[in-house]
Structure formats: C-alpha cells, structure tokens
Copies of this chain bind each other. A is one copy, B any other.
Amino acid sequence: MKNLLIASTSTVHGSGYLAYLLPTLKAFFSQSETILFIPYARPGGISYNKYTEIAAKAFAKIDKKVVGIHQFSNPKEAIKNAQGIFTGGGNTFELVNQLYKNNVLLTLKQTLENGTPYLGTSAGSNICGVTMMNTNDMPIVYPPSFNTMSLIPFNINAHYLDPIEGSTHMGETRETRIKEYHVFNETSVLGLREGSWLEVKNEKITLRGNLTARLFQQNENPIELESGVEVKNMK
C-alpha cells in the first residue's frame, strides 16, 4: 500500500510555505504526530537546520512536530520509524546525491511502499518518479545515478510552465525539452502546474488541485488531464 501526496510546489504565489496544502495535510497526516523532514535539496543552499525550521513552522499550524533526518545518527532507522515523511524542494541533483550518499533511497522507497504517509514538493516529488530526468534544476552536483524511487510508473515535471506566447527567447520551452527526453526515453512525464498535486492511494493515482496537468507520452501528442481524474494506463 502507498499513501503519497506528490505536489508540484511547496508554495503558490501570494501565500505562505505549504499554506495551500495545509487543510489537505491535516487530514493526510491525521495519524502522524511527528513528521520526519528530509532537507537534502537545500533550496538556495540553505542549511538543513534552517530548512527544517521552515517546515516546522508550517506544520505547527496543524499541530505537527517536525524533525530533520540530519538530527538522527542513523538516517535509515529514522525513515523506518517515521510516522510521516516530508521531502521539501530545492535542487533535485543534490537531493538525489544525498539520498545515494546516505544510502537511504531504497529504505525510503520500501518504507513508502509499506504505507508510511509521504509528502513531496517539487524536488521531493521528482524522486517519486522512475528517474529524475525531468527536473528543471541545474546539474550543480553529479549524483551516482538519475534513477529514483519508481513509486509511480512515470516521471514528474514539477512547476510545469506553458510556452509563453510571443516570447522572443530562443532557449527551449519546457514542452520541447520533454520532447527531447522522449527521443531517448520511453517513460511518460506528467507536467504538474503549481497548485496541482497527485494523491496516491495504493496503486490509484488521482490528480488534485484546481488545474489541469499535461501528460507527455512517447510518440503521442500531449494531453491535458482534468483535476479529479485517475492517472493510469501509463506507458
């Protein structure tokens, strides 16, 4: 059994950290008194302690405690014993690098397959896919592999952005980049716009939030999925 929330972003424009998700998180983590936070992605290079404080401040609003995985001498045990787990956003390369370096990627995967509730935002969502190959992040460190947890049978493109009409910029759009990916890879990609998330209950994956999401499958035209639909039959 799996019990995951895979969110495009921690924060939507004009509101506080995790604010738009708090009502959902209150129900989702109803059985978890304390949340284990994985701060490895370090947005802006922030320290693990400071990042954990930010997460703790948000979760305090729904009466949850937060502890950082770096506060444990044995991170594997910390994951296995957690009542709930949250991996925040930042740089996906560094997040994946640290998950390998600390040798906890497989432990995290197995723990989540056994039902521990998990929230991922941005980079923390990317790692739920088959690989991290659809991150938008800069390759600022070289991780041992791009393979991630395969908790869902496709990849996530977090903070999905539609092409900007009338743009004079010649750099590739997000859609072009994902098309390039599909020249070399079969796995589908779900472009999750800011404010969208996936709810994963066992093998059932449902799109939540107010927006549609854009699904990219190899050799097919992208399609828009409506909020509330089940995401399935994915290559």
Contact = CB atoms under 8 A, between A and B. Distances in A.
A184 B140 contact: yes
Secondary structure type dominating chain A contacts? loop
Interface stretch (A48-56, A79-87, A163-171, A201-209): A163-171
A93 to B, nearest CB: 8
A66 interface: no
A19 interface: no
B135 A168 contact: no
User: Of residues A9, A93, A172, A194, which shows the largest number of chain B Cβ atoms within 10 Å of its Cβ?
Assistant: A172
Interface string A127-161: 00000111111111110011000000000001101
A116 interface: no
Interface in A98-136: 132-136
Contacts of A134: 138
